[in-house]
Amino acid sequence: ANQTDRVVMANSKYEYVKDFERPDPLLPNTWVIIRIDGHGFHRFSKVHEFEKPNDARALNLMNAAAKAVMSELSDVVMAYGDSDEYSFLLSKLCSLYDRRESKLITTFASLFTSYYLYYWSDHFPTPKPLYPPSFDGRAVLYPSDQNLRDYFSWRQADCHINNLYNTTNWALILKGGMTERDAERELMGSRAADKHEILFSRFGINYNNEPEMYKKGTVMVREPVKDEENGDAPSLLQEHGATMGEPERPKSNRQLKKEAKKQAKKEERQVKTVVRVYHCDVIRDEFWDARPWILDDED
Amino acid sequence: ANQTDRVVMANSKYEYVKDFERPDPLLPNTWVIIRIDGHGFHRFSKVHEFEKPNDARALNLMNAAAKAVMSELSDVVMAYGDSDEYSFLLSKLCSLYDRRESKLITTFASLFTSYYLYYWSDHFPTPKPLYPPSFDGRAVLYPSDQNLRDYFSWRQADCHINNLYNTTNWALILKGGMTERDAERELMGSRAADKHEILFSRFGINYNNEPEMYKKGTVMVREPVKDEENGDAPSLLQEHGATMGEPERPKSNRQLKKEAKKQAKKEERQVKTVVRVYHCDVIRDEFWDARPWILDDED
Amino acid sequence: ANQTDRVVMANSKYEYVKDFERPDPLLPNTWVIIRIDGHGFHRFSKVHEFEKPNDARALNLMNAAAKAVMSELSDVVMAYGDSDEYSFLLSKLCSLYDRRESKLITTFASLFTSYYLYYWSDHFPTPKPLYPPSFDGRAVLYPSDQNLRDYFSWRQADCHINNLYNTTNWALILKGGMTERDAERELMGSRAADKHEILFSRFGINYNNEPEMYKKGTVMVREPVKDEENGDAPSLLQEHGATMGEPERPKSNRQLKKEAKKQAKKEERQVKTVVRVYHCDVIRDEFWDARPWILDDED
Amino acid sequence: ANQTDRVVMANSKYEYVKDFERPDPLLPNTWVIIRIDGHGFHRFSKVHEFEKPNDARALNLMNAAAKAVMSELSDVVMAYGDSDEYSFLLSKLCSLYDRRESKLITTFASLFTSYYLYYWSDHFPTPKPLYPPSFDGRAVLYPSDQNLRDYFSWRQADCHINNLYNTTNWALILKGGMTERDAERELMGSRAADKHEILFSRFGINYNNEPEMYKKGTVMVREPVKDEENGDAPSLLQEHGATMGEPERPKSNRQLKKEAKKQAKKEERQVKTVVRVYHCDVIRDEFWDARPWILDDED
């Protein structure tokens, strides 16, 4: 036997190390939120001179990356983002990657990052950032529709609170000429009404007229389209024959027949869909009532 | 109370959804391997016309991304990569991100992806790939030094087996004019010696003379340098005042003093290090005996 | 410093080993089933000469232990048992032991075992069994009411199938004089109708007249009682001032006041309850419709 | 089709609920400690009038239960107990129940409880306690030998500290006539030397002469015996043909042959063993040096 046969034998001897991998399936029939968070974006936004309190280019880039992720991964039902974070909702019945947690969260973090860089030059005047940004991610499970709605309400309320603070804070600094420290002191303990008042009386800003994207964040929903309309165009990966699904394994004839049948059935009932982008309220009932298919995913 | 005060109150009402996040600390005092794997790279390599059986540009790009990850994250002791995968070793005592599994694996997957795109144009003639690639990741724990060495042996033996197969397979196709199918048939059931023989007798290729990077993969080690030598230059993030560590939180004076003391001590004993790149055997003892500090990380 | 001061100091040095304990909270707002299973009861029933196919004493003992567990742990909403297993349902909102999985499943397994031995002599003619029995346990989470009902349906259908098989099998052996092997062969591939036929034509047994406890298993439900009725008497532990709740920690005055208030409120709205025992169908709607409070535990 | 065939079909429809069970294998090649803790034993010891500060009967019963657990489960290498807790050590290579965490911890908690009740009447004058006691349990993993030794050191140092406190406290109460409250005040802030002094000067007690079982707790080790000696007698379960191993599944001929071979090999090298009981120090090296087989369980 030569060197490589010894290697093959050795390899079977080493393969026991695979037993140290732990299975990590997420609980079935539960809403899955995958939230992506920018790492050190306080610094990243400074180095790249993001406008304060909001940089439309940076937010649009986040949205472009998120929309692309939704296009590639059709299991994503809805997404919500603001600042340097994005939450993706997977259906309760989603079985992507057999619901393996590690596989899911790393894939979302990686694909989002990849699109963020890929589309950078569409939004900023340089071909790439000064250093590569990164995002972490996590999965959180929500058993009930109410829990899920409360999750999105939590993120949107958070967006609102932060944006009012930031808008006032940066008005004091940029328009009022205060130091960062003085602005912080001025706002300490202030209530919402106080901030509205500061904005209006000192700077003539009516907070209610601020752009919806800043006040409400960005909501993306996969929506069915009517017969005469077009669904979403193929995604960038699909255009090149690639896909985010499971890698292909060789299949038996029987499997292939079975799948062809299944596919035909699926296409029959399949509705063309399109990802639509909003900057609307997701706390009140209107949003959900108008899109019953989001929560109608009963088992 | 105005709209935003209601929002603040609402938010505290929604905050219970945080309780659905689960803690996921990795077992202390255990070697942590974080392995990154290219998603659908069979297709990606076709679309981007990677040379077969090995594309030096693609491997060099993988290595550049891996080296950058090691530069940013000093907790990485060593790394091993071949094809479209890379394994990073965190010390048993590593406490990065409090050893939170989700945070660790998503950060590695994201940062690796980010550098892969960032450095793409240094290795390929286009500013960016035709579509954005992605990588998944997972953490595996190894309690003993032997388990850990067997892990790296497993990956390197796997590299060897695949490379001998691929080298022979693509010789049959590219030089022998076979179809992919015929080549597959020819190799079915063949042993290592048979493949060596095919390469040598039909194509005049002595497999042993193939490049070490293809046969052995790539090994990166963080190594201490002598006083007169320079350690690694600051990483790309460090150059811009950024870091992959935990985000800063405001600290008390007492904390600050304590940390200053700790930092001083650390610097005192701190050794300058450099990340070195090899294409050497990691299965036999020589590699490990020559670098006792890798496994000497006792608790 | 003497020996014990050294011990105290040493102990603080060793306490780091606590960091190896992992947190294991069960997902909130999800139904929790804790299922207890007899270990090696095939052998245990032989050694103790349980009657075949069903031993009423053994089943009554299982039921007595289960009922006692429900009396001690008021978080148990309902239970279902047959043969040597019992499933306990904890409310979606249950916060017993902060939903720590290890604590919950070991406590249920231990308390059930303890009562099984404690009540042994009430059901069998010996003061204790010939050797101590044991039970293992596990927790399974069910997000939706339908999943939960399907769980109980699964266990009850399983009971039905096994009991029809066992009843026929033991009729062939005990009344038909077959060997165990011949009986097994006779029943191989037989359908339900065949078993009914064997029982009726050969042994004059109408399966439908078999005892409900054997055919349906045992269902226990915590039910509210009317004002004039009495609730359940105090449990055996309560009679002795003990409880299965969390161990008491010393409390501040403020805490004590807060709790007194909470307790008063609780008692105000508290309904007296009683654990009722049935051998009824839990697959169809009737059972659930008649007890809306079981599934009405909305969040 | 009749009722039961419908049940069979229904059952296959319900079986999906099994998919909600999560795999929970413990990391291989890691020491496993399973610690059992009495629930509410403060109350239990009061109700059953345990002697203060130590009740030899109660401790002997704990030890009897622990020894029986070790006899039934030969994977337990060593155990340490004091007060109402016991820690069992499973070998790094142990594969009992495929290292499934839930199965392991519930089985230990249940079997320990079962023996505690089973042997109650051997140690107390009543056939059974006034109410059934219960124990919870948990598993903790220790990767290195040092971590493992530190675990046992932690428990033994804890035993020492508590016993010195309790011995002094109850001397003040029972011999010194103090109230519990006054004794507590007297000891607040006292150092070890102060407690020794109180014991000696006021009550003539030399703490060092107190029974070793109280000061050191109880250590049990499975030890090999010499050829001429007898190993442990069969356990209570074994006497009745029962066992704590996995339930038997039907096996193929090939499997049976393979196992017979394996079994023969095992018996060849198998050493007779006996569980020995000590009240000795496990913090210093002597204990471990004298029993090299405990930590020699290398992979």
Can you tell me the mean pLDDT for C285-289?
Answer: 98
Whether residues B146 and D299 touch (CB distance < 8 A) is answered with yes
Partners of residue B188 in chain A, C-beta under 8 Å: none
Give ipTM to 2 decimals.
0.92
pTM of structure: 0.93
Rounded to a whole number of angstroms, the distance from the CA of A252 to the nearest CA of chain B is: 17
Which of A133, A130, A129 minimizes the C-alpha distance to A121? A129
State the DSSP H helix or E strand holding residue C37, giving kind and residue range, or none if neither: strand C31-38
Q: Is the pLDDT of residue C258 over 70?
A: no
Taking the C-alpha atoms of residue C282 and residue C218, their distance in angstroms, rounded to an integer, is 10
Instruction: Please state, in angstroms and rounded to a whole number, the distance separating the CA atoms of residues C87 and C152.
Output: 9
Distance CA B251, CA C257 (A): 35
Output the CA torsion sign for D58, D60, D61, D63: positive
Q: Which residues of C touch A143 (CB under 8 A)?
A: 27-30, 92, 143-144
* pLDDT classification of C11: cutoffs 50, 70, 90: confident
CB C192 to CB D21 under 8 A? no
Taking the Cβ of residue A27 and every Cβ of chain C, the question of whether any pair is shorter than 8 Å is answered with yes
Chains within contact range of chain B (3+ C-beta pairs < 8 Å): A, C, D
From the candidates C27, C33, C148, C151, which should be mutated to test the interface with A, based on the most A CB atoms within 10 A? C27
Instruction: Flag if C146 and A27 touch (Cβ within 8 Å).
Output: no
Q: Could you tell me if C139 lies within 8 Å of chain D, comparing CB atoms?
A: yes
| pLDDT tens for each residue of B137-154 | 999 999 999 999 999 999
pLDDT band at A124 (very low <50, low <70, confident <90, very high): very high
With a cut of 60, say whether residue B46 has pLDDT above it: yes
B26: nearest CA partner in chain C: C22
Chains that touch D (3 or more CB pairs under 8 A): A, B, C
- Tell me what pLDDT residue C299 has: 43
Q: Which pLDDT tens digits describe chain D residue by residue (299 residues)?
A: 456 677 777 778 999 999 999 999 999 999 999 999 999 999 999 999 999 999 999 999 999 999 999 999 999 999 999 999 999 999 999 999 999 999 999 999 999 999 999 999 999 999 999 999 999 999 999 999 999 999 999 999 999 999 999 999 999 999 999 999 999 999 999 999 999 999 999 999 999 999 999 999 999 999 998 877 888 889 999 999 999 986 545 556 666 666 666 666 555 556 789 999 999 999 999 999 999 999 985 54
- In the DSSP assignment, the letter for residue A235 is P
Instruction: Report which of residues C11 and C259 the model is more confident about.
Output: C11
> Does the pLDDT at position B249 exceed 70?
no
- CB contacts of B20 in chain C (<8 Å) are 27-29
Write the pLDDT tens digit of every residue in B86-111. Answer: 999 999 999 999 999 999 999 999 99
CB-closest option in B106, B114, B160 to A132: B114
Alpha helices in chain C (DSSP H): 3-14, 41-47, 56-72, 101-118, 120-123, 145-170, 180-187, 192-197, 203, 212-216, 236-239, 253-269, 285-289, 292-295
Geometric angle at alpha carbon C98, from C92 and C101, rounded to 5°: 80
Q: Check if C18 contacts B (Cβ < 8 Å).
A: no
**Conformational region of residue A241, where left means phi above 0, alpha means psi within -120 to 50, and beta covers everything else:** left
Please report residues of D whose CB lies closer than 8 A to that of C68.
132
In angstroms, the CA B190 to CA B164 distance is 11
Residue A188, C-beta contacts closer than 8 angstroms, at least 6 positions apart: none
Q: Where residue B230 falls among pLDDT bands split at 50, 70, 90?
A: confident
**Closest approach of C93 to chain A, Cα-based (Å):** 12
User: How far off is chain A from D249, nearest CA to CA, in Å?
Assistant: 23
Touching check for D284 and chain C: CB below 8 Å?
Answer: no
CB proximity under 8 Å: C 196-215 to D: 196
Write out chain B residues lying below 8 Å of C28, CB-based.
19-20
The per-residue pLDDT for range C109-156, each reduced to its tens digit, is 999 999 999 999 999 999 999 999 999 999 999 999 999 999 999 999
D131: left (phi over 0), alpha (psi -120 to 50) or beta: beta
Q: How many Cβ pairs within 8 Å bridge chains A and B? A: 245
Q: Do D157 and C10 touch (CB under 8 A)?
A: yes
Cβ separation B22–C27 shorter than 8 A: yes
User: Which residues in chain A have their CB less than 8 angstroms from residue B10's CB?
Assistant: 153, 157, 283
- Of C19, C20, C25, nearest to B22 by CB-CB distance is C25
Give the whole-number percent of chain B exceeding pLDDT 90: 82
Query: Looking only at Cα atoms, what is the longest distance across chain D?
Result: 87
Contact A237, A244 (CB under 8 A): yes
